[in-house]
Structure 1
Amino acid sequence: VWGMRHRFTAGAEYVNTSFYSQRRFGTTTSVNPYFPDRGYFPTDTAANFPTRQDYDSQVNTYAAFAEDAVNLTDKWLVTGGLRYENIQLDRQIINLNTNSFSSFGNTFDAVSWRVGTVYNILPETALYLQYNQATVPVSSLLLSNLANSQFELSYGNSVEAGIKSAFWDNRVVATASVYQIDQYNILTRDPVNPSLTVQGGSQRSRGAEAEVSVALTSQWLVSGNVSYINAEYTELYSTSGDLSGNRPPNVPELTYMFLTSYKFDQIPLTVSGSMQYVSSFFTNTTNTIEVEGHTVFDAWLDYEVGKGTLRLRGKNLTNAFYADWSGYSATQVYIAPGRSFELSYAVKF
């Protein structure tokens, strides 16, 4: 079109998601995670489970999208895209203890779009810039309660700029980027009446990422990456007061990884190892409970057998004990797996 190369795509999409869950919460005896006394699951009665509910959720999503990539020159590419979604939620909750049934739902209309550009300042070096706007529910639709299902979608935008370059006969590949992500209309307590939950909160993440890969020889490869995130609530209230400036849960500020691999000439064997560090994170919005950071070492052997690869991998070789996520409450965390080994065989076709 007009002497410029276009790559245009348009389409429609339908997604149906069904989720059925039996929710049982009670005061049964606790279990020692190291020496569990295995037995039978308690009888499904109101006496054993004061909270005894069955959830059935259906989410139907109808979408239409279009995008185009245009080469303004042989060095300059511009892209853009638009997506419309109609999201329909239908949810039923059966309370087995009271023999009551509730049903609710909602319909959401969402529009998201993006624009971006890539410019090759050198044959092997490109600069890029992109901007996005999107929407997201205030909580998981499949698990939302009646109150949350009636809130509007939260919305946000992101901007990212970066550079990617290759040199030394493409033996070195490096990328770096900076970004900012803002999300608005998230749930917050009403600053005038903290007993009420309303929309109007916001949060922001600013960060930088870098990655480099170096082929020291035809057999030896080393690489590393680092990511820094400065995430904070820009407007959020709780019953404890103003939480602006606090870090959202489960967001470490710093992560980095080093990896190396060596491929032997005489035998079809590759030896690899990695080290990953993740800094501490908080489990709550008030930032009163902090989970320590951790370092994990992995190593693996790849041996070419026939048309596939036989891999022996060791994970968490130092058997580090750490938590990598906070779950249902601020005082509960997910404990990561300890030292383990796995053997696999993969075939490409």
Structure 2
Amino acid sequence: MNKVLKLLPLTLGVSVCLAIPSIAAATTKTPATDPAPVAGISETLLVTASRRERRSLEHTIAAAGVDKAALDLVGHTHINEALVRIPGANIARGNGQEYLAALRSPVLTGAGACGAFLTAQDGVALRAAGFCNVNELFEANTEQARRIEVIRGPGTALYGSNALHGVINVISPAVDGAAVGSLGLELGPDDYTRLKLSSGGRLADAGTGAAEQAYRLDINLTDDGGYRDRSGYGQQKLLFGHRYSRDRLAVVTRFSATNLNQETAGFVVGANAYKDDDLRDSNPNPEAFRDARSYRLSSQIDYSLSDTMALKVTPYARYTEMRFLQHFLPGQPIEENGQRSVGVQTALFADTDAALTWIAGVDMEYTSAYLHEYQEQPTRGSAFLRETIPVGDHYDYDVDATLLAPFVQARWALGEAWLVSAGLRYESLRYDYDNRMLAGRTRADGTPCGFGGCRFSRPEDREDNFENWSPKLGLLYTFADNHRAYANLSHGFRAPQATELYRLQRRQTGADLDSESIAGIEMGLRGLSEARFSYDFSLYTMKKSDVIFRDSDFFNVSEGETRHRGIEARVDYQISPAWRIGANGSYARHSYASDQLLGGVNIKGNDIDSAPRRFGSVQLSWRAEERALVELEWLHMGRYYTDVENRNRYPGHNLLNLRTRWQPQPDTVFYARLANLTDRKYAERADFTSFTGERYFPGQPRSLYFGVELSW
């Protein structure tokens, strides 16, 4: 709370300085946030699948979104609370703002696993290709987003590396000139405090004739003491947007900045430790921390060339830096990493006739990145560990990366009922690696480690190039008004991440890795019936090849295969003007498809660990009156194996959450949320290792959050 109050004068000062001098007399006023959508179910618009807004029924892929009304109601303190409404999305929460993601996949772990998912804000990736971070969504302002859109599966030709299993795109608030002003304060358990501020409007005409300008500012400041011992975080996010439009030209420029300072609580260890009252709120790693900052600047330039052609150019720049303690590794080394990137996305849209539309463009990016890992304290444990994991620098390298990716995607209408969509993307990613230390398995000063060498290995300077093609083919059939059937063939890929190539271990002196690839087939039905009922069903099967993993010799290799088969469903039903129910669910099997011996067991055919076959959620809402809403949510997590041998498993859990929003006046909203209503003892994530046995991130106990939002 103190951190928030200290920043409040600065925040309000920035808002006043930006807003007061230049706002023209407002002709429109955005009303206070409505506590829920109006009665009735309407179709949504999605931009991620085609880089322009299109009706959700018109896509030939599995795409869905969480809209502003749902985000306001959920009021998520962690991204997993919002994405439980997306079928096939499983965001396994760690501690604080940390997580591991799954989209039509198991919860993936490992140095480069995060490369399987592309996370973006307004279509620009949060991280450069090849330099993902497993927690990178905390660098997006999801808490004040207009919408969060998710593509499940490889999707379209518009996205390349890091979109192997799907895309999560955070859509920022519109910069449309509407007069906006709001201030919200939220309180919760363990000294939780969150302050939100939004301001926006039309800017005065500066003598530019017919030009129009507008701005939008969103700030949120969070301080959480943490429900576990000596844990918690402080987080600040700022998003500023400016819009300039004149004649055929529109330019939307956005700047975002985020900062996170987190005291991290690690796994609790032991059989069913998450059920133990003393262990579940303990912190075996009070020394762990994570500090991260990010800055992004982009300009979306839209120019209408004619009535049938439009050009979109989006130059951008980003900067990130992170420092954290790897408390999960022997010796607990500290990692420092950072990236500086510049890039541009270009796209030419053409509506050549009523039957054919297409988009073509080129994405280009240059990145300069670094990673430094060092250890301050001697390694605890056996003489072997102390000798092979010594104090000092482990890795210190720079990587420059260049990306070039042309693409084309087209849609043909074949009569009134049929539509074909096809696309192709080529992507070239080049790494230039510079080792700033001695190569090999020595200490930083060149002296040898005992027992055959140090645990870490540093390759010689090298260059690596990865070239990939990604074709797509989709079919859409309209069998009734607002009812569609679709099918698609898709291919996705991800290049090896820099950490997989250059942060090696033991005797490995170089990683000869291929890009992971996935080929999939999908069929689905979706529709909307008389504003009362909507549905979206999909059935898919995918095979992933050249899966990168660490073998029994601790070598990074790309020889694995996995299979992914499942069915997903989402339905919404407006029972009456006062009652509405929505549900989503996923049943899937994710399994190893190649021969591999681990622990003396051939794991081919086994379920992949951290891959529940069943999970989903149900939301039942009641509009008590025009300005009041109550929602009861049920979350289901099925059981899953926690080791690759399928010998240990987590039994799953069921949770209930209760939420309400009440708007007594147009400019005032009160809200409250009761998370884990029945105070269930559960694990956000369960894991098993041969070193520790069963270990868990325990779930938060019953927690009450409440707040107020004032608008003007």
Query: One fold, TM greater than 0.5?
Result: yes
Q: Are positions 1:135 and 2:493 aligned together?
A: yes
Alignment-mate amino acid for residue 160 of structure 1: E
Contact 1:53-1:93 at 8 Å conserved across structures:
no
Describe how 1:69-108 pairs up with structure 2 within 5 A: 69-91=411-433, 92=435, 94=437, 97-99=443-445, 103-108=461-466
- Match for residue 482 of structure 2 among 100, 121, 124: 124
In the TM superposition, residue 220 of structure 1 has moved relative to its aligned partner by 1.3
> For residues 110 and 25 of structure 1, what CA distance do their matches in structure 2 show?
41
* Structure 2 gap ranges (5+): 1-350, 382-386, 447-457
Q: 1:155 matched to which residue of 2?
A: 517
Q: Give the TM-score of the pair, scaled to structure 1.
A: 0.79
Contact 1:188-1:236 at 8 Å conserved across structures:
no
Q: 1:270 matched to which residue of 2?
A: 629
Q: 1:47 to 1:246 in 2, by over 3 A?
A: closer
Q: 1:184 matched to which residue of 2?
A: 545
> For residues 87 and 320 of structure 1, what CA distance do their matches in structure 2 show?
47
Q: 1:339 matched to which residue of 2?
A: 702
Alignment-mate amino acid for residue 654 of structure 2: T
Q: 2:357 matched to which residue of 1?
A: 7
- Match for residue 228 of structure 1 among 541, 566, 587: 587
Contact 1:261-1:273 at 8 Å conserved across structures:
yes
- Match for residue 285 of structure 1 among 638, 644, 649: 644
Q: 1:342 to 1:111 in 2, by over 3 A?
A: farther
In the TM superposition, residue 293 of structure 1 has moved relative to its aligned partner by 0.6
RMSD: 3.7
Q: 1:256 matched to which residue of 2?
A: 616
In the TM superposition, residue 60 of structure 1 has moved relative to its aligned partner by 3.8
In the TM superposition, residue 78 of structure 1 has moved relative to its aligned partner by 1.1
> For residues 115 and 346 of structure 1, what CA distance do their matches in structure 2 show?
46
Q: Give the TM-score of the pair, scaled to structure 2.
A: 0.41
Alignment-mate amino acid for residue 256 of structure 1: G
**CA offsets per residue over residues 205-226 of structure 1, 9 Å max, x none?**
1111122111011221111122
> For residues 347 and 9 of structure 1, what CA distance do their matches in structure 2 show?
43
Contact 1:7-1:69 at 8 Å conserved across structures:
yes
Alignment-mate amino acid for residue 430 of structure 2: Q
Q: 1:21 to 1:325 in 2, by over 3 A?
A: farther
> For residues 194 and 286 of structure 1, what CA distance do their matches in structure 2 show?
18
Q: 1:255 to 1:195 in 2, by over 3 A?
A: closer
SS of 1:274's equivalent in the other structure is strand
Alignment-mate amino acid for residue 312 of structure 1: A
Contact 2:482-2:528 at 8 Å conserved across structures:
yes
Structure with higher strand content: 1
Q: 1:237 matched to which residue of 2?
A: 596
In the TM superposition, residue 21 of structure 1 has moved relative to its aligned partner by 5.2
Contact 1:71-1:77 at 8 Å conserved across structures:
yes
Contact 1:255-1:279 at 8 Å conserved across structures:
yes
Q: 1:53 matched to which residue of 2?
A: 394
Whose RCO is larger (CA < 8 A, sep 6+)? 2
Q: 1:241 to 1:48 in 2, by over 3 A?
A: closer
Contact 1:189-1:237 at 8 Å conserved across structures:
no
**CA offsets per residue over residues 127-183 of structure 1, 9 Å max, x none?**
100110122246x4345435574211122201110111333x230112222110111
Q: Which moved more, 1:198-207 or 1:55-64?
A: 55-64
Alignment-mate amino acid for residue 5 of structure 1: A
In the TM superposition, residue 52 of structure 1 has moved relative to its aligned partner by 4.5
Q: 1:341 to 1:68 in 2, by over 3 A?
A: farther
Structure with higher helix content: 2
